[in-house]
Structure formats: C-alpha cells, structure tokens
Amino acid sequence: MNLFDVYPLYNITPVKALDCTITDENGVEYLDLYSGHGVISIGHTQPDYVAKLKNQLDNIGFYSNAIQNPLQVELAAKLGKLSDCEEYSLFLCSSGAEANENALKVASFHNGKSRVIAFDNSFHGRTSAAVAVTDNKKIVAPINAQQIVTFLPLNNLDLVETELKKGDVCTVIIEGIQGVGGLDEGTTEFFQGIEKLCNQYEVVLILDEVQSGYGRSGKFFAFQHHNIKPDIICLAKGMGNGFPIGGIMISPKFTASYGLLGTTFGGSHLACAAGIAVLDVIENQKLMNNANEVYAYFLEAIKQVPEIVKVKGKGLMLGVEFDFDVSALRKKMIVEKHIFTGSANNKNLLRILPPLTIKKEAIATFIVALKESLAELK
C-alpha cells in the first residue's frame, strides 16, 4: 500500500536525534531549529524523559478514562503550578485540533451559542470540526456545519465589538502568537480589549496556545505577556515532546458534568508520563530562562543580516521576514548547511522554533549559514 501523498517531502531520512541534533541514515548531522513544528520542547531523546517513558511502558501504558489514573492528577497539579494557572481544571486529549474542538464544545455548551470569531491567518487545526484554517484569507479546511466562523483582522477592537454586539457569538478564539499564519500577534491593548469585551458580552475567550505555549514565548503561555486570564487555554505540541498529548485548561466559571467531554486515548498513563517528564525538565533546567536569554542573543546577532526586513515573534517562537520568497533559501539551509528551519503561510518568512534547550552557539552557527546562503543565492 502507498502512503496517501499529502506532504511534499525533503529527501532526508532522520534515524536518530539528540537534543537539537538530528542524524540521517547517512550519518549527516542537522541542527534542528524547527522542532518538528514546535513539538520538541525539551530536546530530542532527553534522557530523563526517555527513562520515564520506558519505565511507564514497563508498568502500564494505557487504560480507560473510566478508571482512576493518578498520573493525570499529578500532571494537572504540576501544570497548574508551573503555568501559574492553578485555579483552572484540566481535560486531556491527544492533539491540538482536538483541544480546540473540545474548547469550542465547552464554550458552546456554556452559552448555547455557536458563532465563532477567529482572526485572519489564524490556524487552529485540520479536523472537520476544528474552527478554521485561512491561507491568504481562503478557508482551506471544512468547518462544522453548526459553526459559522467570522474572520476579523488582528488588532481591530471596534470590529470585534461590532460582531459581539449582535448577540450570537459563542466564542473568540485567538492564538497567543500566530504560528502557521506567520508570527503576527495581538497587541497587549488588543488582548486586554477582547478579554474585556468577552466578559461584557458573555462570550468565551479561548486562547490557542497549542504552539505558543509551554515556555516557547519565554513565559509559560504567550498570553501571559499581556496580563489577561482567558476562559479556556488550549495545549498540545510541546506538552509531550513528541508524544501525542493535548489538553484544555478550563476556568472555574465552567461546570463539569459527566459525559460533557470524552476521549479514548487522551490522558493515557504513557501520555501523562511524557507530560510530567516535560514539565519536570522545563522546571529543573529553567528552560523559560534559556528561551529569554537565547532570544536576547538572537535579536542582537540577527542584526548582522541586513537582508532581514523584520523579526517577528517572541522567545523561541520566531520568524525572520525578507522581501522575497524564502523557499530556495530554506531548501539551501537544509540541504547544504544542514539546518532545519520552518515555513509559514507568509512565503517571505523563515520560522525559527528550536527546542527550548538551544544554545547561543547554535544561533551563531545559524547566522553564519544564513549569511553564506544569502550570498550564494545572489
């Protein structure tokens, strides 16, 4: 049987990985500045993480959510503490799209409405009930028939208020920092404004931190740069360092009831072991501090590259923007310089999303390779 061919592939086959280095089948080493779409938070094959997963697998990997699982309780407690969101409750699932779907469900059950406000270039997943994908304003993923999604530009509070005033809006969903769309983000005034409007019009504010969460922005959640408290926070990607785990953190204003949400795989013993190991490493190795330090270094070092028009994002969720399509540059960086970076819907943007363990030396290596590549492409 062939694979259903939906991904354009580079001709590279990784067989091993350690921290920020990926080795292919020919023994060639690559610097990973992309973390597989921002998934590898604590570094590839981090030893404590591997040991914890192996040990868990030797004991029990999975059972049903209808039976007590103390690892879920431990994960929730650690997550609440490290993220400074102890008053929220945790529902576990297995991916980012599933997290967002569950968030939409909770919101809709809460206020009985269904219209969703999302933002231009947002990305919230690719399942049929996930809210939306825009690619140059074109919706490329189907939307559940019950959900009408209205897209608005970022940072225009008047337009948000006009929609909320109509009385049929269930939720406003927004990424802490846009990932796939190209690293645009709301201003503090905008985040605080939508929080206020959502409270005023009894609309649920969902923060999609699937990509921007788990320390990537230099704070545990990107919205924490803006001093707001969302109603629901969506998690995945960095949460399991490659093990599929997602979740939603739900504010105390929502009441749980049996059967409201459910999942088969979410919160398995193995997933929780991965989640706990990730949080322990983020805390013990002070990876949020590292994200901030490397970010400060990056901002200085990138000044050596005059071709860059703009640096977008925060912490280790970054994009460097040029005034040309970067596909050839990105390809050259991978194939010839052996450095993985990412692309975005904005074709002029190179995305930098390394593991949170990345060192300044690796950024220096990247800058040298970037300068060489730009010169060679001229």
What is the number of other CB atoms lying within 10 angstroms of the CB of residue 159? 13
CA 95 to chain centre: 11
Note whether 123 binds ligand PLP by CB under 6 A. yes
Note whether 351 binds ligand PLP by CB under 6 A. no
What is d(CA 203, CA 244) in angstroms, rounded to the nearest whole number? 30
What is d(CA 37, CA 351) in angstroms, rounded to the nearest whole number? 9
Note whether 185 binds ligand PLP by CB under 6 A. no
Among 95, 147, 268, 373, binds ligand PLP (CB under 6 A): 95
Helix %, strand %, coil % of the chain (to 5): 35, 20, 45
* Minimum gap (Å) between residue 61 Cβ and ligand PLP: 21
CA 264 to chain centre: 23
Contact criterion met (CB below 8 Å) for 287 and 329: no
Stretch that binds ligand PLP, among 27-35, 46-54, 119-127, 277-285 (CB under 6 A): 119-127
Residue number with CB closer to ligand PLP (137 or 378): 137
* Minimum gap (Å) between residue 356 Cβ and ligand PLP: 16
Among 42, 71, 117, 210, binds ligand PLP (CB under 6 A): 210
Tell me which DSSP letter residue 133 carries.
B
Tell me which DSSP letter residue 151 carries.
E
Among 32, 101, 163, 175, binds ligand PLP (CB under 6 A): 175
**What mask of x and - would describe binding to ligand PLP in positions 235 to 254, judged by CB under 6 A?**
-x------------------
Q: How far is CA 164 from CA 127, 154, 159, 160, 325, in A?
A: 26, 15, 9, 6, 37
* Minimum gap (Å) between residue 373 Cβ and ligand PLP: 26
Residue number with CB closer to ligand PLP (99 or 228): 99
* Minimum gap (Å) between residue 104 Cβ and ligand PLP: 12
Which helix (H) or strand (E) segment holds residue 313: the answer is strand 310-314
Note whether 37 binds ligand PLP by CB under 6 A. yes
Q: What residues make contact with ligand PLP under the rule CB under 6 A?
A: 37, 95-97, 100, 123-125, 175, 179-180, 208, 210-211, 236
